[in-house]
Amino acid sequence: MLCVVLPTQWPGTKRPKHNTSVFGWAVQPSGGPVDYRLLTTGDDGTTGINGAILRRGGPEPGARDAVNGFICTIAVDSIEDVERAVPEAGGEQVLDRMEVPDVGQLSYFKDTEGNIFGALQPVSG
């Protein structure tokens, strides 16, 4: 996978603030003719994937709508920190933390634009 594109109702409003405050990602306009925001998720040479934020082509998903798209999972140092930071940034936890044997602790969340994402604290060592 080369990158991930996060759909939003309007780039530059809620979503960049959510991802920058929860995960420390950098968001900047691409400078092109479309309002396409480049998303940098870490330093060059760090394992991970960068992406973009693009205006959603339809209405925001409803509260009980099925997921329509990929669910991205983000590696985190502390699942507890994410569980606190997401609601503070306007999102919500939608699936309680679970232990995935030999993998780590996993929780799922909904961001301010209705997108579902996972956060995984890998097992150490």
Domains of the chain in start order, with CATH, are 4-57+67-122 (3.10.180.10)
Max avg pLDDT among 4-18, 51-65, 74-88: 74-88
What is the token pair recorded at 16? 């960049």
Give the confidence band of 121 by pLDDT, cuts at 50, 70, 90: very high
Neighbours of 86 (CB within 10 A): 24
Q: What percentage of the chain exceeds 90 in pLDDT? A: 28
More confident residue, 12 or 119: 119
Q: What does the pLDDT average to over 103-118?
A: 89
Pairing state of beta strands 92-100 and 116-122? unpaired
Residue 100 has pLDDT above 60, yes or no: yes
Separation CA 90–CA 22 (nearest Å) = 10
**Among candidates 41, 48, 53, which has minimal Cα distance to 6?**
53
Query: What is the pTM for the complete model shown?
Result: 0.70
